[in-house]
């Protein structure tokens, strides 16, 4: 047994663990004790989050470990196992705690004390921090803390994280329990034999009931009036659902539209920085790398921040007020028909804006397999980056037509793409839950915490922590892949292109000269620049790769130019549009609404003179985009959230495989049926 | 587990009418769900009350030990109560 005997004069660094139920105010206490000096990572090899911070404890810094919120420590779930390992000092890199602060919610005493009785068994000194005292007192209950502490056998300190009340007392109490061999206040030996397999649980609760009965005077009946009243509306069969839909739409709308202004600003900002750097540095490979590779790559990472910050602002608010649990309560029946957890609704909904914050939001789903199932299907919710692709294809080939005489074909197709994504998601979730992610259905049993006013400091802290985690872990992957893709499209330099391509560009230039003479208004220099951009892309590694995969994508109706665009859009789906612009000599500044690009696509020809694009091929491309894994940022975040490369790779393989098959069926089937 | 009195009827929590005060007689079965229920304080002798059901009929909200607990009907099936 560990004896942390404090040698006189030598201060050694203390490690304190913070344990408690979810919703008990543990995180708020942790934040108030550590301030911003927190570090979040994963425990080695698992997806359980490891959170520690520095707590200034009477002059020296102690390491405060925030254990995952737990109802029990009997080691059935990963969270519980990790918490046990931390307390027994079996996690490498984490010192065995010198003391444990057990956070107990005063408004929920009996259940909160269950965990405390388990903590006694570890032989580590325990101090109880009693939270929610203000709510407790407001409900006119009374507690005799001295007697409570005496009967429990450990010191009890009432704390109010917001006002700082109890913080000093907590520090002093910790010091007083250190290095004293803790007596086990509650003897369990022998109890288990009497009650059968669950004898221990009964014994613990009997002890707890006795203690509470002697020390707490509950004010009957008036307790939960307000929460109950609110719940009558929020979980009402009709209004509850309507309100939930309203809330979800609001969150979604916010991420979709409010985020777009800062995102555009960030985009422009990085563009401006890039221009500035280009102007200041001598032209050459290094400058191009810095501007188009690094700055553009970093910009591509940071552009997600507004969405992530907003989504996590809402998630924190929803969770801390207690509404999230109600949302899961309302949606569970629907979601479980599909094999998902009620809490999967918000992440999937957010994924319609962008899967990256959506996937990060799955962290609210406690069960690992449910969470992974949600992560794996989130990208099927057609995200906003696919819109430019849909818009372009529809505008080029399906504009102006109607179905049944009054519904625009464009709208029908757009809706169909969304529907296709959702249907496939449901089917995949179903299959996953029966095969790789198969497991006995996890308990739904979930607390509905009382409604509370959220602690805004905690909310902001959470928001910033998530955003920073994204930048750090996902950002490095995204930046690396950005640079690789840039290099693929940049090298070899067109100065080294072969005589064939030179002849090609000369003849194209002549054609352009002729056509511009006909029109009489085109200026030569933009054409030349656009032309060389196009040549550069065609003869780069990316272009070569496009040729290499052409045989594979020909059954889908695509040629090598489309292949190049598909490769480039791995950076981000909307890059397809700008890549096609470059390849069809329209210039990289065109977007999906550009008439020039649209005409270029309609007129484009494959190498053997046939039309490169037909309505059927356009449809096939859209189908491919609905299902394919084409976003490096998504892969980066999946890697981060699952703490392994196995899942992102699996995701890429299965999604792209599905996309390939679906696209092939669309094209070949369509051709067989006589469509063009 | 048998209830000792023939007069008091026991029923499953799923069939407990909304708003009726009841007491848990036994929690039957093994496995994670049962264990979780017990750890959350749903043990024989504790008083319990069904507050409402969700819009689609499932899950249900139950009041126990001073807090609100939601569970699916198939989980509530294992809890035997008496009024």
Query: What is the percent of chain A where pLDDT is above 90?
Result: 21
Q: Is the pLDDT of residue B16 over 70?
A: yes
pLDDT per position as a tens digit, A149-173: 988 888 999 998 778 788 888 988 8
Q: Which residue has the tokens 């979730």?
A: A429
What CATH number does the domain containing A187 carry?
Answer: 3.40.50.300
Please state which of the ranges A361-370, A419-428, A501-510 shows the lowest mean pLDDT: A501-510
Sort out which chain B residues have CB atoms less than 8 A from A71's CB and list them: 36, 39-40
Q: Does some domain include residue A134?
A: yes
Looking at the DSSP bridge assignments, the partners of residue A38 are: A53
Q: Is the pLDDT of residue A513 over 50?
A: no
- Which chain A residue shows the shortest CA-CA distance from B35? A198
Q: Is the pLDDT of residue A300 over 70?
A: yes
Q: Do B70 and A329 touch (CB under 8 A)?
A: yes
* Start-to-end Cα distance in chain B: 17
Residue A224: per-residue pLDDT: 59
Looking at the DSSP bridge assignments, the partners of residue A20 are: A103
Whether residue B39 contacts residue A114, with contact meaning beta carbons closer than 8 Å, is answered with yes
Question: A2 pLDDT band (50/70/90 cuts)?
Answer: very low
Residue A519: per-residue pLDDT: 42
Q: Looking at the partner chain, which of B66, B67, B75 has a beta carbon nearest the beta carbon of A443? A: B75
Q: Do A110 and B68 touch (CB under 8 A)?
A: no
Residue A4: per-residue pLDDT: 46
Q: What is d(CA A80, CA A601) in angstroms, rounded to the nearest whole number?
A: 57
Q: Is the pLDDT of residue A191 over 90?
A: no
Q: Does some domain include residue A413?
A: no
Residue A658: per-residue pLDDT: 94
* Range with top average pLDDT, A303-312, A422-431, A506-515: A422-431
Query: CATH classification of B16-82 is 2.30.30.90, yes or no?
Result: yes
Q: How many CB atoms lie within 10 A of CB A440?
A: 9
Q: Do B58 and A238 touch (CB under 8 A)?
A: no
Q: Does some domain include residue A40?
A: yes
pLDDT per position as a tens digit, A84-131: 999 998 888 888 999 999 999 999 999 999 999 999 888 889 999 999
Find all residues with CB under 8 Å of A649, minimum gap 6, and list them: none
Q: Is the pLDDT of residue A6 over 50?
A: no
Residue B3: per-residue pLDDT: 52
Q: Do B55 and A443 touch (CB under 8 A)?
A: no
Whether residue A662 contacts residue A624, with contact meaning beta carbons closer than 8 Å, is answered with yes
Q: Which residue has the tokens 């007697």?
A: A147
Residue A7: per-residue pLDDT: 47
Indicate left, alpha or beta for A128 from its phi (over 0: left) and psi (-120 to 50: alpha): beta
A vs B: CB pairs below 8 A: 110
The verdict on A240 touching B (C-beta cutoff 8 Å) is yes
Q: What is d(CA A298, CA A293) in angstroms, rounded to the nearest whole number?
A: 8
User: B3: distance to nearest CA of chain A, Å?
Assistant: 16
A275-288: average pLDDT: 87
| Burial class of residue A59 (count of CB atoms within 10 Å of its CB; 0-12, 13-18, 19+) | exposed
Q: Is the pLDDT of residue A542 over 60?
A: yes
Residue A192: per-residue pLDDT: 52
Summary count for chain B: helices (H), strands (E): 2, 6
Q: Does some domain include residue A46?
A: yes
User: B32: distance to nearest CA of chain A, Å?
Assistant: 7
Q: What is d(CA A450, CA A134) in angstroms, rounded to the nearest whole number?
A: 14
A13-28: average pLDDT: 92
Q: Which domain holds residue A204?
A: 15-217
Residue A222: per-residue pLDDT: 56
User: A437: distance to nearest CA of chain B, Å?
Assistant: 17
Q: Is the pLDDT of residue A436 over 70?
A: yes
Q: What is d(CA A410, CA A406) in angstroms, rounded to the nearest whole number?
A: 12
Q: What is d(CA A545, CA A551) in angstroms, rounded to the nearest whole number?
A: 11
Greater confidence (A451 vs A47) lies with: A451
A237-245: average pLDDT: 86
Q: How much is the mean pLDDT over chain A?
A: 83
Q: Is the pLDDT of residue A512 over 60?
A: no
Q: What is d(CA A161, CA A587) in angstroms, rounded to the nearest whole number?
A: 58
Q: A583: part of which helix (H) or strand (E)?
A: helix A575-583
The verdict on A333 touching B (C-beta cutoff 8 Å) is yes
Residue A505: per-residue pLDDT: 47
A1-20: average pLDDT: 66
Query: What is the percent of chain A where pLDDT is above 70?
Result: 89
| Three-state secondary structure call for residue B71 | strand
Q: Which residue has the tokens 């399906």?
A: A398
Assigned token pair, A471 = 């930048």
Q: Is the pLDDT of residue A673 over 80?
A: yes
Domain map (residue ranges) of chain B: 16-82
Q: Do A447 and B55 touch (CB under 8 A)?
A: no
Residue A528: per-residue pLDDT: 75
ipTM of the complex: 0.90
Residue A336: per-residue pLDDT: 82
Q: Do A448 and B55 touch (CB under 8 A)?
A: no
Q: How many CB atoms lie within 10 A of CB A392?
A: 26
Q: Do B69 and A72 touch (CB under 8 A)?
A: no
Question: What's the maximum distance between 2 C-alpha atoms anywhere in chain B?
Answer: 37
Domain count, chain A: 1
Q: What is d(CA B13, CA A172) in angstroms, rounded to the nearest whole number?
A: 47
Q: Do A223 and B75 touch (CB under 8 A)?
A: no
The verdict on A110 touching B (C-beta cutoff 8 Å) is yes
Sort out which chain A residues have CB atoms less than 8 A from B35's CB and list them: 74, 76, 198, 201
Residue B83: per-residue pLDDT: 87
| Three-state secondary structure call for residue A600 | helix
CA-based nearest residue to A44, from A90, A113, A75, A99 = A90
Greater confidence (A494 vs A207) lies with: A207
Q: Is the pLDDT of residue A625 over 70?
A: yes
Q: Looking at the partner chain, which of A107, A201, A333 has a beta carbon nearest the beta carbon of B57? A: A333
Looking at the DSSP bridge assignments, the partners of residue B60 are: B53, B71
Question: A526 pLDDT band (50/70/90 cuts)?
Answer: low
Q: Is the pLDDT of residue A3 over 50?
A: no
CA distances from A7 to A56, A172, A179 (A): 20, 18, 10
> What is the 8-class DSSP label of residue A464?
H
Residue A651: per-residue pLDDT: 94
CA distances from A159 to A156, A381, B43 (A): 10, 44, 30
Q: Is the pLDDT of residue A498 over 60?
A: no
Whether residue A555 contacts residue A664, with contact meaning beta carbons closer than 8 Å, is answered with yes
Sort out which chain A residues have CB atoms less than 8 A from B76's CB and list them: none
pTM of the model: 0.80
Residue A502: per-residue pLDDT: 46
Please state which of the ranges A67-71, A322-326, A587-591 shows the lowest mean pLDDT: A587-591
* Start-to-end Cα distance in chain A: 78
Residue A127: per-residue pLDDT: 94
The verdict on A185 touching B (C-beta cutoff 8 Å) is no
Q: Is the pLDDT of residue B66 over 80?
A: yes
CA-based nearest residue to A97, from A111, A86, A105 = A86
Residue A609: per-residue pLDDT: 78
The vertex-A130 CA angle with A126 and A132, nearest 5°, equals 155
Sort out which chain A residues have CB atoms less than 8 A from B71's CB and list them: 443-446
Residue A520: per-residue pLDDT: 39
Q: Looking at the partner chain, which of A218, A235, A447 has a beta carbon nearest the beta carbon of B54? A: A235
Whether residue B68 contacts residue B42, with contact meaning beta carbons closer than 8 Å, is answered with no
Q: Do B65 and A111 touch (CB under 8 A)?
A: yes
Q: Return the sign of the alpha-carbon dihedral for residues A376, A382, A384, A386.
A: positive
Residue A113: per-residue pLDDT: 95
Q: Is the pLDDT of residue A187 over 80?
A: no
Looking at the DSSP bridge assignments, the partners of residue A514 are: none
Q: What is d(CA A103, CA A86) in angstroms, rounded to the nearest whole number?
A: 17
Q: Do B69 and A445 touch (CB under 8 A)?
A: yes
* Range with top average pLDDT, A303-312, A343-352, A610-619, B62-71: B62-71
Question: A647 pLDDT band (50/70/90 cuts)?
Answer: very high
Q: What is d(CA A420, CA A375) in angstroms, rounded to the nearest whole number?
A: 18
Sort out which chain A residues have CB atoms less than 8 A from B49's CB and list them: none
Sort out which chain A residues have CB atoms less than 8 A from B54's CB and list them: 235, 329-330, 332-333
Greater confidence (A69 vs A502) lies with: A69
Q: Is the pLDDT of residue A41 over 50?
A: yes
The verdict on A330 touching B (C-beta cutoff 8 Å) is yes
Question: A75 pLDDT band (50/70/90 cuts)?
Answer: low
Find all residues with CB under 8 Å of A512, minimum gap 6, and list them: A522, A527, A531
CA distances from A455 to A106, A603, A622 (A): 17, 59, 45
The verdict on A196 touching B (C-beta cutoff 8 Å) is no
Q: Does some domain include residue A381?
A: no
Task: For strands A38-42 and A49-57, give the pairing.
Answer: antiparallel
The verdict on A114 touching B (C-beta cutoff 8 Å) is yes
Outline where A7-96 has alpha helix (H): 26-34, 78-87
Residue A220: per-residue pLDDT: 67
Greater confidence (A672 vs A194) lies with: A672
Q: Do B59 and A334 touch (CB under 8 A)?
A: no
- Which chain A residue shows the shortest CA-CA distance from B60? A329
Assigned token pair, A415 = 């809706």
Question: A376 pLDDT band (50/70/90 cuts)?
Answer: very high
Residue A102: per-residue pLDDT: 96
């Amino acid at each position: 047994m560990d004896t942390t005997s404090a040698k006189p004069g030598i201060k050694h660094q203390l490690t304190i663990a913070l344990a408690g139920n979810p919703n008990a105010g543990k995180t708020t206490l942790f934040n108030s004790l550590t301030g911003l000096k927190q570090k979040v990572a994963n425990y080695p090899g698992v997806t359980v989050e490891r959170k520690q911070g520095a707590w200034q404890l009477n002059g020296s810094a102690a390491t405060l470990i925030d254990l995952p919120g737990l109802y029990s420590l009997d080691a059935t779930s990963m969270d519980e196992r990790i918490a046990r390992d931390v307390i027994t000092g079996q996690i490498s890199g984490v010192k065995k705690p010198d003391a444990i602060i057990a956070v107990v919610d005063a408004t929920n005493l009996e259940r909160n004390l269950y965990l405390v009785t388990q903590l006694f068994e570890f032989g580590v000194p325990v101090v109880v921090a009693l939270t929610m005292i203000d709510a407790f007192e407001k409900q006119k209950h009374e507690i005799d803390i001295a007697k409570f502490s005496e009967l429990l056998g450990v010191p009890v300190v009432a704390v109010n994280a917001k006002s700082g009340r109890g913080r000093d007392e907590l520090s002093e109490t910790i010091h007083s329990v250190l290095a004293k061999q803790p007596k086990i206040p509650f003897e369990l030996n022998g109890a288990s034999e009497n009650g059968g397999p669950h004898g221990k649980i009964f014994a613990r609760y009997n002890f707890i009931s006795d203690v509470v009965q002697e020390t707490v005077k509950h004010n009957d009946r008036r307790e939960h009036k307000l929460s109950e009243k609110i719940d009558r509306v929020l979980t009402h069969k009709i209004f509850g659902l309507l309100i939930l839909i309203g809330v979800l739409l609001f969150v979604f709308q916010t991420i979709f539209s409010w985020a777009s202004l800062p995102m555009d600003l960030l985009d422009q900002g990085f563009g401006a920085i890039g221009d500035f750097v280009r102007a200041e540095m001598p032209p050459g490979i290094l400058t191009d790398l810095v501007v188009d590779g690094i700055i553009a790559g970093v910009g591509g990472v940071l552009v997600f921040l507004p969405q992530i910050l907003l989504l996590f602002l809402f998630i924190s608010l929803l969770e801390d007020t207690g509404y999230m649990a109600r949302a899961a309560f309302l949606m569970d029946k629907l979601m479980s028909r599909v094999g998902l957890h009620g809490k999967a609704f918000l992440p999937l909904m957010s994924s319609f804006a962008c899967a990256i914050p959506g996937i990060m939001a799955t962290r609210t789903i406690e069960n690992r397999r449910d969470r992974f199932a949600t992560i794996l299907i989130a990208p099927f919710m057609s995200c906003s980056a696919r819109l430019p692709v849909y818009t372009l294809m529809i505008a080029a080939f399906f504009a102006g037509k109607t179905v049944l005489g009054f519904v625009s074909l464009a709208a029908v197709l757009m809706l169909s793409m969304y529907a296709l994504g959702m249907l496939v998601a449901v089917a995949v979730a179903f299959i996953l839950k029966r095969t790789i992610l198969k497991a006995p259905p996890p308990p739904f049993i979930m607390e509905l915490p009382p409604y509370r006013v959220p602690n805004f400091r905690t909310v902001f802290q959470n928001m910033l922590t998530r955003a920073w985690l994204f930048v750090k872990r996902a950002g490095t992957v995204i930046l690396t892949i950005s640079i690789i893709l840039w290099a693929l499209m940049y090298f070899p330099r067109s100065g080294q292109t072969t005589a064939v391509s030179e002849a090609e560009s000369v003849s194209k230039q002549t054609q352009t000269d002729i056509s511009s003479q006909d029109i009489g208004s085109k200026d030569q220099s933009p054409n030349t620049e656009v032309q060389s951009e196009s040549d550069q892309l065609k003869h780069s590694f990316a272009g070569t790769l496009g040729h290499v995969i052409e045989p594979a994508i020909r059954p889908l109706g695509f040629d090598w130019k489309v292949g190049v665009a598909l490769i480039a859009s791995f950076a981000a789906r909307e890059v397809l549009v700008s890549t096609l612009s470059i390849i069809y000599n329209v210039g990289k500044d065109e977007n999906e609404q550009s008439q020039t690009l649209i005409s270029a696509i309609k007129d484009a020809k494959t190498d053997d003179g046939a039309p490169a694009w037909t309505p059927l091929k356009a449809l096939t491309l859209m189908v491919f985009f609905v299902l394919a894994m084409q976003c490096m940022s998504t892969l980066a975040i999946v890697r981060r959230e699952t703490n392994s490369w196995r899942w992102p790779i699996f995701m890429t393989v299965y999604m792209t495989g599905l996309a390939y098959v679906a696209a092939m069926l669309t094209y070949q089937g369509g051709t067989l049926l006589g469509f063009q | 587990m048998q209830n000792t009195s023939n007069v008091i009827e026991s029923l499953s929590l799923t069939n407990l009418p909304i708003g009726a005060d009841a007491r848990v007689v036994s929690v039957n079965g093994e496995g994670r769900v049962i264990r979780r229920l017990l750890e959350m304080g749903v043990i024989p002798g504790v008083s319990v009350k069904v507050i409402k059901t969700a819009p689609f009929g499932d899950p249900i909200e139950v009041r126990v030990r001073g807090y609100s607990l939601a569970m699916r009907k198939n989980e509530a099936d294992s809890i035997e109560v008496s009024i």
